[in-house]
């Protein structure tokens, strides 16, 4: 028997104790890693568990009222994942800790059944015997046929590592809540639709009954009622009651989003609330549909005659998960879960490292563009995914209008006919099906036939139809547990990462990148050498799909009808019966969808969808959701690469430079460093901003070299816009300022000659690496900074290790460059008398004495600092103005966007988000995220021009900078209006930056000392950085870029020729 | 040619014809360390005119006039209106009270003249259907009029009303300079090759009673043997003209007499070995004086592909370099620090420094060119006496830097002092050359200003 599962308590201590100035030496919270419990010096890497599964997975289980707890689905959907782990047993365990106590039935004083609005519950439980631990998320879905209208489900994250689950509880809870919310929303829509159908049926039946009763009354003797007439009257009364009950249920379910939520994790959406408010104000009136004109009726649901009493048909087949939830929501849920699984792939150590990395990078927003890939990460992705289902909610309204005309009740694909034919038990149904196959125009005319048939079905249902029951006999079980009101087990802070997330311009790209990255992350941790490609795995169909459907049960038939019909059966129409035409439903038989025995793949309701080719390829193609998402990612990169920057670098990476690419490039870079002793100089060229041309006749070799060297290009752009992997025409001067790394084809033709001409002509601006002769011509490097990234005797053997090492060195460089860029006294005159030359001298002194850098190393830092300055000037200008609309747009997708989506994006679920982002990315945002040296966008604000108006415009720069020339407003006094004459850099700075940069005052040369700037970096950047400020590189910049052309800087340095 | 790719570092100079001129990539005195490519023209850019201390206009064969901000590189305005190539452009500054307002006057091959307001981009005035296209423009601020020279010499007032015109010569006027006593010197390009004597005529503007202006030819100075390519004012008392065959004449601006006469031959007198190599007498194009520039004391003549620095005060050669460029020098400029800048058809701009000759016995200068000096008195005297140069005053032109960026002939450049230099070229591009240190300093200032605006990071 089942023992009591050991429920692990989870509590989170609140650290509200200490308020006050944080100790600068304490690591900020986001960088902290819980210490490994150091009891008895345990090896932290020792495999402590003896779980039978190798990887974490997500398990969805149901407590079926017929068969009890049963596993439904695992994510990833690969039997290899859970191996010999007993899913049935584990389902039993996790479903038996259902904390929900849902209330069902008729509460006292109320005549109608009430729906229980059950909040999710979250528990962590473990099975020490199995070595499995799980975060279990219980949720309840509504099903009209289920007992108490509820079906308890749970989603569990199963892992062998208890600590991992405990420590990641909040994240898990957040992600699962989103998925649950998505699933429940779809379920509510499906439920409402089902209710409406049922109401239609009831009303139709009532009308039939009334007619019959009238007939009988007429037929019978006056004044006295026959027994049959009394029966009819009773039946009618029961029908009336049933109608009222169902109306009330419909009212309850449509007002669902308005109820107060106790679950802090539930994803809120204002739009949902208002929408449902609207629906409530216009109360659901199913009657209104009945009186509508024929044309509308044609497209609407055909009511069927049903039995009056809402019989509990135990023999019937319960709806499976895909039927319980609208298809798109279901797929979005699965996508969310897939994403969740990806997010938590890897062991705790890896997760922490990644989190630290993210936290650090978030701190370094200003310098990230240099070497880090953009923060297109999970939270980002979650934000997007979180919006997916919300936008699902809202796009449907417009969808329906667009899709309605195109709805064709096309014949079933032949397979389903076969299915029908091999399905002997219901000959009449198959006949009906074949009718439906012949053409939908017969639908209207065959209405009476249908009702007759359904009458037959009703009767058979009454008799608890034998053939269906024997088919599904194994599933007959006692009813599932009834849910009631419950309290969430763990109260967690709501939405910690979701809403306040930065809204990046190219969120979809970010998402794609993030997805790829997590995949990569899994590979990098050696966790899955044979990593399964999620996109390729065919999802194992729901076990429920294999269940023989109760053909006689009208409700389930409806369910199937609904599910198999394309998205013309729209949730909104379910909620809005009067205003939207109900979609025309093929009155096909459920057998059409029944899986052939042994052919699981057919069980997917996607396959025979008549809407295939009409719309929503994701939902109608047999693909798994994850592949859909992969395709989305691909589409998104494609669209990104065909964006405006495509013109800028026609042969660029053609998409985002993902971390995976970068790590692969790490191997190439390591090989380069080990192979060429002069690699150092080439790296210096790249890092100091001198364009490196890789010359070679063999394209593959050149491309490999370029992609390896691209790692060293500072600020390569999101899509590597500053890298040109293969160029086969002579380049011009403008190419030099566009590209920092060029792969050039060596040709023997006249074109080649002119190309070499341009090479030699611009030789002072470029370094040339000859891949064929293995020579390098560039200025020599005599610094020390790069010594340990370009040591050709390095002991590093693995490309990813080298990549991380390189990232380390580069981010160190970037932080120094940040310091250089944002330290005031290095750029602003300390006293009025100081000239530019003296300031520059001070800067040089800072680099030389404080940072202890040589000349060549200085040029690296100067270049990086220049890029940072440029990036800052470009990205922030007007950002505050322009980001705001984006934020609003993203949060509440407007109707215009929806129209746009509905027109050209086939899947509103995932595609919607893509499309929303695309216009933004096409504005050139990703091209010019500060890549182009836009010399003085703020040039109009340069001191000279500031001075000119007052003094007549004849002022030379020096006098402009020189404040002693009179009453003119000088830049210094502009910057520091308060302190008057004696301006020290510190005072000049502090009021402006609010003390965020105060640590730099410690670096002031006068204080001297051996201050290493890195010490000060954290507090420096840890100020009040609002990411939004820096995240809008697009709009303003694209406006100014056309006006202020880029510039590039260079040195007059003699090049040397290096050979192996 | 591309030996450096094969391995020879010093072979870099192989691009240059003259290895002596190869400066290499180490140019410590060259402070143009940042460049900005300004795109906008669709054809050869020929003219650059400075409007004020940060704006300039460019014009060329595409008929477009573009106004730029040299500090940011922004294209401020696009002045469209001419249907054919621009043949002349000048800035027209008039002062009304406190305000000085600068306009642009452009002349085009479509035989129109236009006045533009560089603030708004409006075409303020336009004159079309001229009898001939205008080749040169001259603003006489003193008289508040301006002069256009084409086949005829026209005088216009500020409101584009024709004051008077005169058919001075049969050939078109190619250059004009303002002289004292309301005189203008106009030089003509010789169209008929047979008519050898070249004409330098001096029309005088006479201010009659009222505001009526008239123009009349005063004297014709026919001392050049060939067509005059260059004509400049040196100072109040002198002007100079240079001809196709290398004659350089200094004129007295008041009484129009010859102050000095130089004939630049670029003669290679280091005979023996060189003589065999020398094919023939120097081609006239090698001696053609393309352009003259002067700061009042020194005068620079662009002679063929060489440079020739002449001291107006001592009336003697100061420095010269026969092959300063690989091709014809198109524009020169004297730098305030005593340097010299030149641009050429070879696509490069070179910066020169005049250095005292270290070794007086340096043979290279011994007879690079012959020179005849004529006094005013003995102008018509007998055969010219070849004067052996006395070297003490002679200095050398040392290349201190070159700017390489254009892929076509650099037509012209205009300097904004510390803010940089703008070059225009036949490759349809303009390039702004700047000082990286200064620019990055300005950017840093902008950064901190923005930081302040944003209220911190």
Beta bridge partners of A135: A124, A157
Return d(Cα A256, Cα A192) in angstroms, integer: 11
Greater pLDDT, A388 or A167: A167
The answer to whether A409 and A349 have CB atoms below 8 angstroms apart is no
Beta pairing class for A741-745 and A723-727: parallel
The answer to whether B372 and B386 have CB atoms below 8 angstroms apart is yes
Average pLDDT value for residue range A697-710 = 89
Three-state SS letters, A53-86: CCCCEEEEEEEECCCEEEEEEEECCCHHHHCCCC
Closest CA in chain B for residue A363: B457
Q: Which of A155-159, A637-641, A773-777, B151-155 is the least confident region?
A: A637-641
Query: Which H helix or E strand runs over B452?
Result: helix B436-454
Of B168, B152, B145, nearest in space to B219 by CA? B168
Return d(Cα A21, Cα A993) in angstroms, integer: 18
Residue B9: burial class (beta carbons within 10 Å; 0-12, 13-18, 19+): middle
Closest CA in chain B for residue A734: B37
pLDDT band at A842 (very low <50, low <70, confident <90, very high): confident
| Token pair for A92 | 């039993």
State the smallest CA–CA distance between residue B405 and chain A in angstroms: 6
| Token pair for A314 | 């135990």
State the smallest CA–CA distance between residue A498 and chain B in angstroms: 23
Closest CA in chain B for residue A824: B448
pLDDT > 70: percent of chain A:
45
Look at phi and psi of residue A907 and say left if phi exceeds 0, alpha if psi is from -120 to 50, else beta. beta
Q: Which of A331-345, A591-605, A740-754, B127-141 is the least confident region?
A: A591-605
Beta pairing class for B316-321 and B395-404: parallel
Return d(Cα B271, Cα B282) in angstroms, integer: 14
pLDDT band at A769 (very low <50, low <70, confident <90, very high): very high
Q: How far, in Å, are A804, B196, B387 from residue A800 at the CA level? A: 6, 79, 77
DSSP, collapsed to helix, strand or coil, labels residue B22 as: coil
Greatest alpha-carbon pair distance for chain A in Å reads 120
| Option in A763, A840, A938 nearest B437 (CB) | A840
Look at phi and psi of residue A94 and say left if phi exceeds 0, alpha if psi is from -120 to 50, else beta. alpha
Of A907, A753, A970, A1013, nearest in space to A391 by CA? A907
Average pLDDT value for residue range A935-952 = 34
Of A320, A859, A364, A849, nearest in space to A590 by CA? A320
For testing contact with chain A, the best of B416, B444, B453 (most A CBs within 10 A): B444
Cβ–Cβ below 8 Å for A836 and B34: no
pLDDT, residue A934, reads: 36
Spell out which residues of chain A touch residue B75, defining contact as CB-CB under 8 Å. Answer: 1043
| Token pair for A538 | 């065919």
What is the signed CA dihedral for B420, B421, B422, B427, rounded to 10 degrees?
-120
DSSP string, A913-982: HHHHHHHHIIIIITTTSS-S--TTGGGGGSHHHHHHHHHTT---HHHHH-GGGSSSPPHHHHH--SS-S-
pLDDT, residue B207, reads: 52
Greater pLDDT, A600 or A146: A146
Q: Write out residues in chain B with pLDDT < 50, as ranges.
A: 1-20, 191-201, 208-210, 268-280, 360-391
Return d(Cα B359, Cα B361) in angstroms, integer: 5
Helices and strands, number each (H, E), in chain A: 42, 13
Spell out which residues of chain A touch residue B406, defining contact as CB-CB under 8 Å. Answer: 733
DSSP, collapsed to helix, strand or coil, labels residue A9 as: coil
pLDDT, residue B204, reads: 60
| Token pair for B94 | 């008039």
Closest CA in chain B for residue A766: B25
Return d(Cα A23, Cα B374) in angstroms, integer: 88
Residue B272: burial class (beta carbons within 10 Å; 0-12, 13-18, 19+): exposed
Cβ–Cβ below 8 Å for B69 and A939: yes
| Option in A760, A761, A935 nearest B73 (CB) | A935
Greater pLDDT, A309 or A772: A772
Cβ–Cβ below 8 Å for B25 and A777: no
Return d(Cα A82, Cα A55) in angstroms, integer: 7
pLDDT in tens, A97-134: 655 544 444 445 455 667 777 778 888 888 777 788 88
Greater pLDDT, A73 or A606: A73
Cβ–Cβ below 8 Å for A768 and B443: no
Average pLDDT value for residue range A318-342 = 86
Average pLDDT value for residue range A633-657 = 36
Return d(Cα B188, Cα B166) in angstroms, integer: 14
Provide the 10 A C-beta neighbour count for residue B452.
Answer: 18
With tokens 């199937």, the residue in question is: A560
Residue B2: burial class (beta carbons within 10 Å; 0-12, 13-18, 19+): middle
Greater pLDDT, A471 or A668: A668
State the smallest CA–CA distance between residue B442 and chain A in angstroms: 6
The answer to whether A351 and A168 have CB atoms below 8 angstroms apart is yes
pLDDT of A577 > 80? The answer is no
pLDDT band at A24 (very low <50, low <70, confident <90, very high): low
Q: How far, in Å, are A334, A483, A984 from residue A978 at the CA level? A: 59, 67, 12
Return d(Cα A531, Cα A339) in angstroms, integer: 15
Average pLDDT value for residue range A1029-1038 = 35
Return d(Cα A169, Cα A167) in angstroms, integer: 5
Return d(Cα A46, Cα A38) in angstroms, integer: 13
Chain Cα centroid distance, residue A330: 16
pLDDT, residue A361, reads: 80
pLDDT, residue A363, reads: 79
Spell out which residues of chain B touch residue A758, defining contact as CB-CB under 8 Å. Answer: 407
Q: What are the backbone dihedrals phi and psi of residue B134, each rounded to the nearest 5 degrees, phi first?
A: -85, 135
pLDDT in tens, A250-283: 888 887 766 655 555 554 544 444 555 554 444 4
Spell out which residues of chain B touch residue A759, defining contact as CB-CB under 8 Å. Answer: 2, 5
Return d(Cα A1017, Cα A1015) in angstroms, integer: 6
For testing contact with chain A, the best of B410, B441, B453, B455 (most A CBs within 10 A): B441
Return d(Cα B251, Cα A1050) in angstroms, integer: 45
Cβ-based contacts under 8 A for chains A and B: 222
Mean of the per-residue pLDDT values for chain A? 60
pLDDT, residue A175, reads: 87
Spell out which residues of chain B touch residue A840, defining contact as CB-CB under 8 Å. Answer: 437, 441
Beta pairing class for B430-434 and B421-425: antiparallel
Return d(Cα B190, Cα B174) in angstroms, integer: 9
Residue B126: burial class (beta carbons within 10 Å; 0-12, 13-18, 19+): middle
DSSP, collapsed to helix, strand or coil, labels residue A256 as: helix
Spell out which residues of chain A touch residue B28, defining contact as CB-CB under 8 Å. Answer: 1052
Return d(Cα B356, Cα B391) in angstroms, integer: 10
pLDDT, residue B422, reads: 93
Cβ–Cβ below 8 Å for B25 and A1052: yes
pLDDT, residue A12, reads: 42
Of A143, A151, A93, A99, nearest in space to A120 by CA? A99
Beta bridge partners of A507: none
Residues 6+ apart with CB under 8 A from B301: B230, B242, B248, B264, B289, B291, B292, B307, B308, B309, B310, B332
Cβ–Cβ below 8 Å for A942 and B71: yes
Residue A860: burial class (beta carbons within 10 Å; 0-12, 13-18, 19+): buried
| Token pair for A199 | 């109401």
pLDDT of A1006 > 50? The answer is no
pLDDT of A620 > 70? The answer is no
DSSP string, A827-842: TS-SSTT--HHHHHHH
pLDDT, residue A99, reads: 53
pLDDT, residue A227, reads: 77
DSSP, collapsed to helix, strand or coil, labels residue A145 as: coil
Return d(Cα A874, Cα A1032) in angstroms, integer: 9
Return d(Cα A908, Cα A572) in angstroms, integer: 14
Cβ–Cβ below 8 Å for A872 and B434: no
The answer to whether B256 and B219 have CB atoms below 8 angstroms apart is yes
| Token pair for A823 | 């330290």
pLDDT band at A23 (very low <50, low <70, confident <90, very high): low
Radius of gyration of the CA atoms of chain B, in A: 23
DSSP, collapsed to helix, strand or coil, labels residue B56 as: strand
Residue B15 sits at the vertex; the CA angle it makes with B13 and B17, to the nearest 5 degrees, is: 85
pLDDT, residue B423, reads: 94
Spell out which residues of chain B touch residue A992, defining contact as CB-CB under 8 Å. Answer: 448, 451-452, 455-456
């Amino acid at each position: 028997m089942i023992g009591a599962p050991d429920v692990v308590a989870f509590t989170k201590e609140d650290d509200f104790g200490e308020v006050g100035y944080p100790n600068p030496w304490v690591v900020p919270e986001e960088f902290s890693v819980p210490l490994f419990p150091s009891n008895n010096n345990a090896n932290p890497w020792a495999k402590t568990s003896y779980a039978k599964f190798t990887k974490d997975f997500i398990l969805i289980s149901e407590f079926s009222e017929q068969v009890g707890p049963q596993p439904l689905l695992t994510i990833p959907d690969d039997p290899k994942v859970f191996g010999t782990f007993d899913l049935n047993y584990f389902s039993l365990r996790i479903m038996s800790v259902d904390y929900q106590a849902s209330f069902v039935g008729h509460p006292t004083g109320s005549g109608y059944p009430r729906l229980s609005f059950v909040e999710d519950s979250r528990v962590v439980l473990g099975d020490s015997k199995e070595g499995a631990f799980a975060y279990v998320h219980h949720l309840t879905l509504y099903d009209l046929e289920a007992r108490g209208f509820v079906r308890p489900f749970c989603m569990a994250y199963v892992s062998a590592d208890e600590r991992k689950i405990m420590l990641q509880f909040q994240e898990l809870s957040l992600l699962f809540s989103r998925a649950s919310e998505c699933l429940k929303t779809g379920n509510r829509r499906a439920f409402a639709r089902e209710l409406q159908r049922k109401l239609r049926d009831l009303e139709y039946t009532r009308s039939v009954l009334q007619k019959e009763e009238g007939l009988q009354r007429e037929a019978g003797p006056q004044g006295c009622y026959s027994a049959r007439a009394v029966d009819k009257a009773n039946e009618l009364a029961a029908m009336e009651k049933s109608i009222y009950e169902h109306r009330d249920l419909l009212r309850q379910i449509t007002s669902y989003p308005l109820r107060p939520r106790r679950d802090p994790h539930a994803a809120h959406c204002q739009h949902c609330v208002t929408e449902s408010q609207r629906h409530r104000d216009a109360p659901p009136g199913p009657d209104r549909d009945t009186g509508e004109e024929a044309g509308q009726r044609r497209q609407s649901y055909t009511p069927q005659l049903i039995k009056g009493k809402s019989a509990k048909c135990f023999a019937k087949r319960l709806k499976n998960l895909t039927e319980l939830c609208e298809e798109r929501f279901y797929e979005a849920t699965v996508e969310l879960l897939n994403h969740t699984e990806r997010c938590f792939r890897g062991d705790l150590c890896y997760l922490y490292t990644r989190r630290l990395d993210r936290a650090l990078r978030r701190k370094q927003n200003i310098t990230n563009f240099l070497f880090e890939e953009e923060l297109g990460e999970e939270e980002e992705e979650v934000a997007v995914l979180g919006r997916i289902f919300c936008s699902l909610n809202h796009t449907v309204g417009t969808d329906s209008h667009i899709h309605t005309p195109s709805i064709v009740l096309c014949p079933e694909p032949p397979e389903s006919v076969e299915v029908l034919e091999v399905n002997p038990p219901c000959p009449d149904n198959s006949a009906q099906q074949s009718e439906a196959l012949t053409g939908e125009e017969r639908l209207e005319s065959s209405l009476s036939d249908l009702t007759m048939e359904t009458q037959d079905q009703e009767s058979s249902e009454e008799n608890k139809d034998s053939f269906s029951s024997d088919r599904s006999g194994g599933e007959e079980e006692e009813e599932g547990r009834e849910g009631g009101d419950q309290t969430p087990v763990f109260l967690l802070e709501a939405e910690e990462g979701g809403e306040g997330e930065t809204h990046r311009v190219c969120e979809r790209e970010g998402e794609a990148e993030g997805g790829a990255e997590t995949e990569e992350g899994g590979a990098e941790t050696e966790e899955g050498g044979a990593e399964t490609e999620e996109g390729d795995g065919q999802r194992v169909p729901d076990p429920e799909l294999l269940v023989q459907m109760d053909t006689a049960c009208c409700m389930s038939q409806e369910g199937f009808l609904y599910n198999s019909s394309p998205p013309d059966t729209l949730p909104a129409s379910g909620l809005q019966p009067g205003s939207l035409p109900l979609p025309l439903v093929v009155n096909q038989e459920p057998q059409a969808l029944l899986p052939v025995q042994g052919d699981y793949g057919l069980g997917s309701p996607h396959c025979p969808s008549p809407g295939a080719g009409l719309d929503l390829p994701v939902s109608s193609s047999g693909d798994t959701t994850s592949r859909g998402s992969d395709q989305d990612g691909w589409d998104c990169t494609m669209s990104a690469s065909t964006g405006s920057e495509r013109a800028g670098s026609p042969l660029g990476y053609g998409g985002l430079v993902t971390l995976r690419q970068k790590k692969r490039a790490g191997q190439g870079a390591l090989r380069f460093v080990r192979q060429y002793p002069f690699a150092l100089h080439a790296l210096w060229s790249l890092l100091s901003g001198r364009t490196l041309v890789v010359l070679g006749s063999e394209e593959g070799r050149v491309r490999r070299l370029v992609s390896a060297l691209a790692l060293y290009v500072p600020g390569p752009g999101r899509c590597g816009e500053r890298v040109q992997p293969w160029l086969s025409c002579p380049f011009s001067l403008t190419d030099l300022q566009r590209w920092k790394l060029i792969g050039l084809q060596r040709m023997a033709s006249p074109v080649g000659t002119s190309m070499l001409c341009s090479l030699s002509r611009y030789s002072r601006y470029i370094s040339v690496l000859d891949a064929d002769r293995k020579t390098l011509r560039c200025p020599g490097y005599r610094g020390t900074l790069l010594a340990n990234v370009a040591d050709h005797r390095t002991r590093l053997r693995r490309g990813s290790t080298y990549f991380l090492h390189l990232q380390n060195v580069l981010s160190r460089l970037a932080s120094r460059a940040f310091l250089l860029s944002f330290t005031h006294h290095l750029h602003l005159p300390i006293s009025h008398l100081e000239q530019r030359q003296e300031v520059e001298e001070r800067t040089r002194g800072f680099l030389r004495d404080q940072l202890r850098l040589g000349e060549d190393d200085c040029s690296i830092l100067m270049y990086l600092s220049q890029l940072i300055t440029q990036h800052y000037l470009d990205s922030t200008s007007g950002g505050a103005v322009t980001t705001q609309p984006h934020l609003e747009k993203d949060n509440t997708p407007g109707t215009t966007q929806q129209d746009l989506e509905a027109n050209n994006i086939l899947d509103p679920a995932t595609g919607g988000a893509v499309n929303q982002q695309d216009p933004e990315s096409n504005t050139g945002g990703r091209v010019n995220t500060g890549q182009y040296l836009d010399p003085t966008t703020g040039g109009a604000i340069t001191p000279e021009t500031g001075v000119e108006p007052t003094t007549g415009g004849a002022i030379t720069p020096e006098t402009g900078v020189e404040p002693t020339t009179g009453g003119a407003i000088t830049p210094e006094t502009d910057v520091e209006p308060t302190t008057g004459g004696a301006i020290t850099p510190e005072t000049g700075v502090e009021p402006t930056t609010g003390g965020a940069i105060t640590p730099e005052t410690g670096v002031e040369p006068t204080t001297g000392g051996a201050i290493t700037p890195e010490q000060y970096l954290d507090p420096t950047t840890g100020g009040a950085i609002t990411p939004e400020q820096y995240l809008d590189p697009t709009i303003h910049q694209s406006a100014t870029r056309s006006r202020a052309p880029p510039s590039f800087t260079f040195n007059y340095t003699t090049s040397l020729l290096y050979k192996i | 040619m591309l030996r450096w790719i094969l391995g020879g570092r010093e072979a870099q100079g192989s691009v240059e014809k003259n290895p002596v001129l190869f400066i290499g990539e180490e140019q410590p005195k060259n402070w143009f360390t940042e460049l900005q490519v300004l795109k906008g023209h669709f054809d050869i850019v020929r003219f650059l005119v400075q409007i004020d201390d940060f704006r300039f206009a460019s014009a060329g064969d595409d008929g477009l006039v573009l106004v730029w901000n040299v500090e940011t590189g922004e294209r401020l305005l696009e002045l469209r209106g001419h249907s054919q190539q621009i043949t002349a452009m000048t800035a027209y500054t008039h002062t009304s009270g406190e305000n000085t307002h600068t306009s642009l006057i452009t002349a085009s091959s479509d035989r129109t003249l236009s006045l533009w307001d560089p603030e708004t981009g409006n075409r303020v005035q336009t004159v079309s259907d001229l009898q001939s296209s205008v080749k040169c423009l001259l603003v006489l601020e003193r008289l508040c009029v301006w002069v256009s020279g084409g086949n005829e010499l026209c005088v216009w007032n500020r409101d584009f009303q024709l004051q008077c015109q005169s058919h001075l010569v049969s050939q078109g006027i190619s250059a004009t300079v303002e002289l004292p006593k309301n005189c203008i010197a106009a030089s003509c390009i010789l169209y008929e090759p047979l008519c050898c004597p070249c004409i330098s005529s001096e029309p005088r503007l006479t201010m009659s009673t009222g505001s009526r202006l008239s123009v009349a030819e005063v004297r014709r100075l026919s001392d050049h043997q060939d067509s005059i390519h260059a004509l400049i004012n040196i100072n109040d008392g002198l002007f100079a003209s240079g001809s196709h065959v290398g004659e350089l004449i200094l004129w007295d601006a008041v009484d129009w007499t010859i102050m000095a006469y130089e004939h630049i031959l670029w003669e290679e007198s280091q005979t023996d070995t060189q003589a065999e190599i020398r094919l023939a007498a120097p081609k006239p194009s090698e001696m053609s004086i393309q352009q003259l520039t002067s700061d009042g004391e020194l005068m620079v003549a662009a002679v063929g592909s060489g440079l020739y620095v002449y001291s107006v005060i001592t009336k003697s050669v100061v420095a010269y370099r026969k092959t300063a460029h690989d091709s014809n020098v198109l524009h020169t400029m004297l730098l305030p620090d005593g340097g010299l800048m030149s641009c050429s058809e070879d696509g490069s701009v070179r910066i020169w420094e005049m250095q005292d000759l270290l070794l007086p016995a340096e043979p290279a200068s011994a007879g690079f060119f012959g020179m005849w000096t004529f006094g005013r008195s003995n102008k018509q005297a007998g055969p010219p006496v070849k004067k052996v140069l006395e070297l003490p005053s002679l200095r050398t032109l040392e290349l201190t830097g070159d700017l390489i960026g254009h892929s076509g002939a650099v037509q012209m450049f205009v300097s904004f002092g510390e803010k940089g230099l703008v070059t225009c070229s036949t490759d349809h591009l303009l390039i702004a050359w700047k000082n990286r240190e200064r620019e990055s300093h300005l950017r840093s200032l902008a950064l901190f200003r923005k930081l302040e605006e944003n209220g911190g990071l």
